[in-house]
Each structure stands twice: as C-alpha cells, then as structure tokens.
C-alpha cells in the first residue's frame, strides 16, 4: 500500500487512515502482466482504479489501425474517476498495462461511502476531476496547433510550468511523445534537431534543457 502515500486521492491523509478507509470497502485488487488489457473501449466501467504498482497507458484505436496514446499513468495515480459517475459508464478508450501492474478497484457505491466519510478525500477527489479537465484542455491545445514545432514547444512549456525548471525530464519516451502530439516520430526527431541547432533547446533522450525561454513562448504566439 506504499502507493497510497503518494496517491493524490489521499493527500493529507495519514497512511494508516487511508488503509483503514480502503479496508472498509469491497475493493478488488488485481494483478496484470505487461501487455495485458485492463479494460477495452466500450466495456462497462463501475470502478475507480488506483495504480498500486506498475504503469498503464490509455490507448484510442481507430478503424484505420492507428492507435493513439492518450495518456499514461504510474503508481499512485488514479483513473476512471469521472466514468463511474457518468450516465454512460463505459470506457471511451482501451486501458493497457505496460508493465506488471497491481490495480486497486473501488466500486462506485463504495467510493461514494468513502467520500462521505472523509472530507479531505472528497476535496482531493474534486481536485482530481479538475486536473483531468486541465489535462484535456492541454491535449485539445496540442492537437489544434498547426506545426510540429508549436506542438513540441507546447509540451515543453507545460512541463516547464509543472516542474518549475528549465531542466525538464519527460515522464515518457520519445515514441510516446510523438504519439501524444500526433506527429510521426521521424518528424519529431527532425524538428528537435532543428530546434537544437536554432539554439532553443538541448536534449538527451527524454531530458531537455530550455535555452531560450522567451523564443519558445513567442513561437506559440505566431
């Protein structure tokens, strides 16, 4: 249950209390291997899920065969928090375990009881919903930008804002970065090299250094 200590749902709640709250529910603990599907698009969703161990990705498959990575989560993160209260209650995308993972699933009715028992958890849950809305807005912005450079800059500036540093470590691979901003990986690599040559950034694998912050900010205003 170490992941509960860093789970945003239990921020400000003592670990012993968090474990007690979970123990008082009819929650399910399930283990998945790397490559296992946790849920398929269109399947019923009646649980809020907490990742106790491992990493997962949210994939959106299209009829063309293309699969887009919408998001990724790791230990301590939650997912499906809004779906359990949706009238449709279906997964809008596929959930894939990318490593060996342990998922704690809390049924909707049990979640309601848990939220009514602890005001801090209720406040944190509202925060999770708010964060998801902001993340969705960020994704919409990414997809609406008209050049590869603007898409890259948008991600880097978002991470700069979150990490409060010009030295940024992206929590995913270059391949995932390309999928998130919906451009081919070779195009991403070429544009990153051009941005480095232009004196905007430096990078090594998924680690970036913002060299000219003002120039990056001006790119989004063009």
The CA radius of gyration of the chain, in Å to the nearest whole number, is 19
Is it the case that residue 89 has pLDDT exceeding 70?
yes
Q: What is the pLDDT of residue 25?
A: 87
* Segment 77-99 mean pLDDT: 89
Structural domains of the chain, with CATH: 3-127 (2.60.120.10), 145-219 (1.10.10.10)
134 pLDDT more than 70? no
**Mean pLDDT for the stretch of residues 175-195:** 89
Lowest average pLDDT, out of 101-115, 140-154, 187-201, goes to 140-154
**Interatomic CA distance for residues 195 and 152, integer angstroms:** 10
48 — pLDDT class (breaks 50, 70, 90): very high
Whether the pLDDT of residue 62 is over 90: the answer is: no
């Amino acid at each position: 249950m170490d992941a509960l200590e860093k789970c945003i749902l239990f921020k400000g709640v003592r670990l012993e209390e968090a474990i007690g709250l979970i123990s008082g529910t009819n929650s399910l603990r399930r283990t998945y291997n790397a490559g296992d599907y946790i849920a398929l698009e269109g399947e019923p969703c009646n649980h809020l899920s907490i990742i106790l161990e491992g990493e997962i990705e949210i994939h959106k498959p299209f009829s063309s065969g293309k699969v887009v990575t919408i998001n990724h989560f790791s230990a301590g993160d939650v997912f499906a928090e809004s779906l359990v209260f949706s009238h449709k209650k279906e997964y809008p995308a596929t959930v894939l375990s990318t490593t060996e993972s342990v998922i704690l699933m809390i049924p909707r009715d049990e979640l309601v009881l848990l939220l009514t028992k602890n005001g801090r958890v209720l406040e944190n849950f509202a925060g999770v919903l708010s964060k998801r809305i902001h993340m969705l807005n960020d994704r919409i912005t990414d997809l609406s930008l008209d050049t590869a450079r603007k898409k890259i800059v948008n991600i880097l500036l978002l991470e700069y804002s979150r990490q409060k540093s010009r030295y940024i470590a992206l929590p995913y691979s270059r391949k995932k970065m390309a999928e998130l901003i919906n451009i081919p990986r070779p195009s991403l690599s070429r544009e990153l090299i051009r941005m480095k040559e232009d004196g905007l950034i430096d990078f090594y694998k998924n680690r970036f250094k913002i060299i000219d912050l003002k120039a990056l900010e001006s790119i989004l205003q063009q």
